[in-house]
Amino acid sequence: MPKDYLAYLSSLNNKQQEAACSDISIPLMIVAGPGSGKTSTMVGRILMLLSEGISPSQILAMTFTTAAASEMRDRIGGVAGKAIAKDLMISTFHSFCLQLCRSHAEKLGRTAEFVLFGHGQQRRAIIEAVRLWETEKNKDHVEDIQEGPNFFKEKSKRWQKFVSQAKASGSTSEQHMESGDHIGGSILRNYDEILRSCNALDYHDLISCSVKLLTQFPEVYKECQELWKAIVIDEFQDTSSMQYSLLRILASHNRMTIVGDDDQSIFSFNGADISGFDSFRADFLNYKEIRLNKNYRSTRYIVEAASYLIRNNTKRCQSQNALTDNCSGSKIFVKECYNESAQCAFVIDKIVEITSDGSTAKCSHGNIAVLYRRQVSGKLFQSSFRERRIPFNAHGVAFYRKKVVRAIIAMLKTVSPGCDDGTYRQALKALLHLEKEEKKRVVEHIGKISMTQKCSFLSAATDIFNAKVSGTLKRNQLTQGRKTLSTLNMISKLAHREQSISAVITSVANLIPQKYLLDQRAVIDVDGGKLLNEDNDVRSVLQYLLDDVSDFLATKFTANKLENEAINGDKGCVCVLKEFLDYITERESEHFRSRRSENKDSVTLTTIHQSKGLEWDVVFIVKVNESEIPLLHEFKESMRGTESLVEEERRLFYVGMTRAKKKLFILYVTMNSNWQLLPPSRFLNEIPSHLMETQADFTVKCPERKFAVNPKENAQVNSVVQNEEESFPTNMASVKETDVDYEAPNEALKAWNGDAFLKRFNSEDRAIVS
Ligand code: ATP
Ligand code: MG
């Protein structure tokens, strides 16, 4: 075994070494709590596989995020060398499946250039599927549509959730029909048909189609068996049953290692299923199980508090509570704040204090994170950090949801063969130099013509602008339309002519009218994150996109092979561009994203979901209030039992707490922006007081009452849950409703000592709140 491998393995403890070095032909399960070195052991296991003569290109390592994949590649590269790390297949489930489906697209009724539908395209296809169903139904007069013609369009989110769930569980339109669910069955059938006609697949299809390829096409199975001699999976607890089926088929040679912690399973809304551990035990009978029980990450206070919390969960398969030798550190600091502004001010003051040169335990910005349950809670932090010039990186999917970015992406996508109508609509909207209202009317007019003439949006637009169809558009609108069409044409030529995708993206971004960008400035202002750290203009957006191009090229073509080489080789610019668009669609949808190119010495602002697997010296978890964590509107949305939802939320809080290495701050607010009282989270009651240092001005009680099954009864302070983006991946089953309308607080607040709060609040500091 090479010396560097040995050195790495000997840095592991005995249990970790035993796991990394156990017989590679025996399926291995490593189960352990947070910070116990699971990922570190997985790296050791890969080194072991390499030293046993398995070639890097035959090892498939699955992670859940592209960032985790590139981090793992870097770590292995650090020990085994970049060349070996480059040849390893370290991938997310989705990229792996995307590659498999592209290689065998014709077996799935698609061409290799099929389009990957992200959240927006999926939504548009669903609206179309529902509309088709409505038309069919009206024709047959089977039932009345009581809710009016726009009912299904308005409820498209619910249908999107339905379609995603059906796909995640593998249920087909035929099965829905057979079970008597004719509406669901028809919509699923229409949706699949639309995807087929657009030469597209969505995210769930990638997994189910890969399973189909492996089970129904023996040659694909054989090819994969020959290709992958060993499989290693990190964060196994987040594997869905469909993903597990895929793994089981791939790992029939038994050289499979899974690494996970059921207490950190936080994606059940997306189909993650911890029963995968039991399935593994049942399917791989000669498996070996190793538990790691030492926490290397956090101090005693953090480890103990987290394990007290998680003990309240009844559903725990592995029940691992890792211990730590690290007795240093201080108690968890729990702070009550009047409102979100006061909370933000406290965090900023603390950060300034601990990063200043005079601080006894000086900490760099890069070692600090602020975690929240919902993306919306990060907005105030972003603007305040900007004002106070505190460097930060805001992780989130918001960037790719911005209208201006979506417009650039839509324009780029028009170059891909099989681009859908919605993409043209978006691109056209971005390019039309018309007043907002005027533009809206033109786009609606094209939509109507395409509906009545049953033709695509693009061909309707072409006919209208070239005056082949008599219409109501004014002369200047027609001229604008023709210009826009020729610009779209130019983009296509550009992509075929340019030598690099960076050049194509730069040219395309510059085609967006400055006015359009100004229109979007408000949007950018609200949740711009890093964007507003720099100039608030197209250059910032562009720079951000070009950063992603660099990340993509680094992952795809290795650091020393330039994009130009790739393009001058077998791949044309259009082809590389298409791969890049797939790549960002994937990033847009994944649970966690971070940027390689981001400023390393910046405070991280992110959701708890996205903080998974990461660690920082100092962690602030903010807005730890009832209705935030646990997030109450989940109750209304979910069909699952209330108790299991609370348990999932508890696991989420557990993940948040265990990101901290040295110091953990937990903050909650006493009122929302509507001056409604907010009780602190019930989870704070579950941490023993001797582990906490509390700075609360009032006697605080967290509600202990169990939540009733009827969500209306749970209603209390949720008017705060307003239109917002969630921390969830956009294309998954997790799409959250925005029209949550809960009733006023009553009973639940009785448990909380609001009187004491009000008394004090009325006597002092009222100004702070306003
Ligand atoms: P999570 O469940 O949060 O993903 P994990 O179990 O994967 O955590 P790692 O991220 O691998 O844990 O390790 C946590 C920290 O402990 C890292 O900083 C790592 O470098 C350190 N660590 C792991 N094993 C050892 C060891 N044997 N000796 C010293 N430090 C270790
Ligand atoms: Mg890990």
Question: Which bound ligand lies closest to the C-alpha atom of 293?
Answer: 1
What SS3 state is found at 62?
strand
**pLDDT at 381 exceeding the cut of 80:** yes
Top-confidence residue, 12 or 526: 12
Identify the weakest region by mean pLDDT among 27-36, 369-378, 492-501, 548-557.
Answer: 548-557
What does the pLDDT look like over 148-197, one tens digit per residue? 445 555 567 788 888 888 887 778 899 999 998 888 999 999 999 888 88
Q: Per the annotation, does 660 bind a ligand?
A: no
pLDDT at 724: 28
pLDDT at 170: 79
Top-confidence residue, 559 or 668: 668
Identify the weakest region by mean pLDDT among 138-152, 154-168, 463-477, 741-755.
Answer: 741-755
What does the pLDDT look like over 603-612, one tens digit per residue? 999 889 888 8
pLDDT at 138: 66
Closest protein CA for atom 9 of ligand 1: 37
Region 310-318 average pLDDT? 82
What does the pLDDT look like over 190-217, one tens digit per residue? 999 888 887 889 888 999 999 999 999 9
Task: State whether the beta carbon of 75 lies less than 6 angstroms from ligand 1.
Answer: no
Please answer whether residues 504 and 512 qualify as being in contact, where contact means their C-beta atoms are separated by less than 8 angstroms: no
pLDDT at 223: 93
Question: Which bound ligand lies closest to the C-alpha atom of 265?
Answer: 1
Q: Which of 339, 277, 290, 264 is nearest to 33 (CA)?
A: 264
CB atoms within 10 A of CB 526: 14
What does the pLDDT look like over 251-289, one tens digit per residue? 988 899 999 998 888 877 767 777 888 899 999 989 999
Task: State whether the beta carbon of 298 lies less than 6 angstroms from ligand 1.
Answer: no
375 phi and psi, to 5 degrees? -50, -40
Task: State whether the beta carbon of 36 lies less than 6 angstroms from ligand 1.
Answer: yes
Share of the chain above pLDDT 90, in %: 30
484 CA → ligand 2 middle, Å:
49
Best mean pLDDT range from 78-82, 519-523, 694-698: 78-82
Identify the weakest region by mean pLDDT among 89-98, 436-445, 663-672, 682-691.
Answer: 436-445
pLDDT at 317: 66
Task: State whether the beta carbon of 13 lies less than 6 angstroms from ligand 1.
Answer: yes
Question: What is the DSSP track for 521-586?
Answer: HHHHHHH-GGGGGS-SSHHHHHHHHHHHHHHHHHHHH-TTS-HHHHHHTT--HHHHHHHHHHHHHH
**pLDDT at 119 exceeding the cut of 70:** yes
39 CA → ligand 2 middle, Å:
4
Distance CA 54, CA 24 (A): 10
What SS3 state is found at 448?
helix
Residue 620 CB partners (closer than 8 Å, separation 6+): 347, 350, 368, 369, 370, 371, 665, 666, 667
Q: Report residue 51's pLDDT band, with 50, 70 and 90 as the boundaries.
A: very high
Identify the weakest region by mean pLDDT among 382-386, 392-396, 465-469.
Answer: 392-396
Identify the weakest region by mean pLDDT among 240-249, 361-370, 392-401.
Answer: 392-401
In 249-300, beta strands by DSSP E: 256-260, 288-292
Q: Per the annotation, does 410 bind a ligand?
A: no
Q: Which of 492, 434, 435, 433 is nearest to 458 (CA)?
A: 492
Best mean pLDDT range from 117-121, 473-477, 522-526, 586-590: 473-477
**pLDDT at 593 exceeding the cut of 70:** no
Identify the weakest region by mean pLDDT among 296-305, 370-379, 723-732.
Answer: 723-732
- Residue of 36, 40, 266, 655 with the most ligand 1 atoms within 8 Å of its CB, for mutation: 40
Identify the weakest region by mean pLDDT among 85-89, 387-391, 631-635, 669-673.
Answer: 631-635
Region 240-248 average pLDDT? 90
pLDDT at 599: 58
Angle between helices 3-10 and 14-21 (to 10 degrees): 140
Average pLDDT for the chain: 77
Top-confidence residue, 282 or 396: 282
Task: State whether the beta carbon of 612 lies less than 6 angstroms from ligand 1.
Answer: no
Q: Per the annotation, does 37 bind a ligand?
A: yes
